[in-house]
Chains A and B, each alone.
Chain A
Amino acid sequence: MKYMIMTFGSAEAGVEAMGREWMLEMVQFMRALDKDLRKAGELVDAQGLADGSQAKTVRFEHGIPVPTDGPFAEAKESLVGYWIVDVESEQRAIEIASKIVAFVKQPIEVRRVMDAPPDF
């Protein structure tokens, strides 16, 4: 079963606020985590996204799609990056997310990918 593990944040709360030391530690942490997941044969995909300030949102206005600057959600936080893992259970996905949370000390969302066979 596949899960998407998502981190959210904003430019202010990220790189700029945390300082150099933390940055370097984080890079190492993320590399180690990716390596572990890869070695376990659980990693499907992992990507970091460009800062939300660089996002475009395409809206439906006056009957046509119109691109505008900025992220979709009005909230300060937007999607920063994600992992897609293929694991034995939800418990294992939560275990992976917990490792990340223990390091970043920010909440993380774990969502099931709709890959189950139908049950009929």
Chain B
Amino acid sequence: MLREQAPQVLGALVRRYGQFDACEDAVQEALLGAARQWPKEGVPDNPRSWLLTVASRRLVDQWRSDSARRRREETAAALEVPAEGPPSEQDDTLTLLFLCCHPSLSVPSQLALTLRAVGGLTTAEIASAFLVPETTMAQRISRAKERVRSTGATFSMPPASERGDRLRVVLHVLYLVFNEGYTTSSGPELNRADLTTEAIRLARMLHEIVPEEGEVGGLLALMLLTDARRDARSTADGSIVPLDEQRRELWNSSQIEEGVALLTRTLGKVPVGPYQLQAAIAAVHDEAGSAEETDWPQILALYEVLERVSPGPVVTLNRAVALAMVNGPRAGLALLGTLDGDDRMAHNHRLEAVRAHLLERAGDLAAARDSYRKAARMTASIPEQRYLALKAARLVD
């Protein structure tokens, strides 16, 4: 695939010329050129050196213009080209990921820059995936690169002491890309499904580079195990099908197998992290032959560990669901009650949606209906709003 070459070509270029933003533009143009030319003229014998040559030429062309030369002189001082010998291509890709997910960037900028510089997607493709005009996305990317430059960030690996934190940001960005694409229906939202595929591709690439990082494997497993249910989680008209009503024969069994195998290799090797635990929970769901066969005590135990490793109201909320499945809806509702005063949940529709579901199971239908309605008003997702409003409508006496 053409786009696989993107981070490596960009890495080689930045190491040679040391100017991340200009090099990134040049690589983008080379990729666009390849997408135009290769289908007509055939793929060159050495695609990477073709891209490298074309991108270098663009860079030189750009520098020939006076204003650009001036800027080059200004920024040459600011950007340090690492002096040591050429690192491996894998290191280049990792360095790029760290740079694109630089903590000084806003989250939307991190997503956009990662998809372009590491994913090799065009600005138009990213814009259409996020449903914004192409000019807006182009501006976001160029502002992000400006920002990277102004913070004095260099194309080099962060020091070992920062690596853990920086890797967490990268994983969060990949998780968000995945989540953005994890919508339900077809039609105009098909583009968003591509984001899911892209997030999995990037996570897989990262896992190959740092197989020793348990959370990277954990995130990849979580993505595979969640995405495996894609075909079952909505109907043709985009309506949500909840987990316990999904047709499990539509789940992607090879993806589940891959996710489980990955998780088995990852777990127990390292201190366990939140992505691994969430993947383990997804695996328990995926391995149940039917909703009734789900091993809820196991899921509850995993949520208890997750709450210790990475406490937060959303984890508590999920634990309440598991607790309700093991000890009955009233036990779950009691735990939900502990979240009522939590400011972080004040605008979260999921608290109300889960409460509605548990009230319904407890037989308190009038209260369940009110909670479904409240949740429907609070969500920012159209399919979810429809789902919750229908749930409420079904309970009208």
Contact B140 A120, beta carbon cutoff 8 Å: no
Q: Contact: A112 with B380, CB < 8 Å? A: yes
- Assess whether A118 is in contact with B383, with CB atoms less than 8 Å apart: yes
A42 x B140 contact (CB < 8 A): yes
* Beta-carbon contact of A44 and B132 below 8 Å: yes
Give every chain A residue within 8 A of B112 (Cβ-Cβ).
41
* Interchain CA distance A88-B242 in the complex, whole Å: 29
Which residue of A41, A115, A116, A117 contacts B136 across the interface (Cβ within 8 Å)? A41
Given contacts A40-B139, A41-B141, are A116 and B380 in contact (CB under 8 A)? yes
B23 to chain A, nearest CB (A): 20
Asked whether, in the complex, the Cβ of B233 is within 8 Å of the Cβ of A117, the reply is no
- Is A79 an interface residue, CB under 8 A from the partner? no
| Contact B180 A41, beta carbon cutoff 8 Å | no
Q: A87: shortest Cβ distance to chain B, in Å?
A: 7
Whether B350 pairs with A119 at a CB distance below 8 angstroms is yes
Query: In the complex, A25→B173 CA distance in Å?
Result: 41
B75 CB–A CB distance under 8 Å: no
Q: What size tier do the contact residues of chain A reach? A: 20 to 34
User: Cβ of A87: which chain B residues have Cβ within 8 Å of it?
Assistant: 108
Q: Report the Cα distance A113→B333, complex, angstroms.
A: 31
Q: Which residues of A contact B387 (CB under 8 A)?
A: 118, 120
1/0 contact string of A100-111 vs chain B (CB within 8 Å): 000000000000
Q: Does A39 contact B (CB under 8 A)?
A: yes
Complex CA gap A115/B136 in Å reads 17
B107 close to chain A: CB less than 8 A: yes
- The answer to whether A1 has its CB under 8 Å from any CB of chain B is yes
Q: Are the CB atoms of A1 and B380 closer together than 8 Å?
A: yes
Q: Does the CB pair B381–A119 fall under 8 Å?
A: yes
Q: Which residue of B lies closest to A113 (CB)?
A: B380
List B residues 161-203 near A (Cβ within 8 Å): 179-184, 192
Tell me the smallest distance from the CB of B239 to a CB of chain A, in Å. Answer: 10
In the complex, what residues of B have CB within 8 A of residue A116's CB?
Answer: 379-381, 384
B361 at the interface (CB under 8 A from A): no
Max count, chain B CB within 10 A of own CB: residue among A38, A88, A119: A119
B: residues with CB less than 8 A from A are 106-109, 112, 130-133, 135-144, 179-184, 192, 233, 240, 242-243, 349-350, 379-385, 387
Q: A1-B380, A88-B106 are in contact. List 15 more A-B contacts (CB 8 A).
A: A38-B135, A41-B108, A41-B141, A41-B142, A42-B140, A86-B108, A86-B132, A112-B380, A115-B131, A116-B379, A116-B381, A117-B181, A117-B183, A120-B233, A120-B243
27 pairs from A and B in contact (CB 8 Å cutoff): A38-B135, A38-B139, A39-B143, A41-B138, A41-B139, A41-B140, A41-B142, A42-B140, A43-B136, A44-B132, A44-B133, A45-B133, A86-B132, A87-B108, A88-B106, A114-B380, A115-B131, A115-B380, A116-B380, A117-B179, A117-B181, A117-B381, A118-B383, A118-B387, A119-B379, A119-B381, A120-B243
Interface residues of A (CB under 8 A from B): 1-2, 38-45, 86-88, 112-120
9 tightest A-B contacts by CB? A41-B140, A116-B380, A41-B139, A118-B384, A116-B381, A118-B381, A88-B106, A114-B382, A112-B380
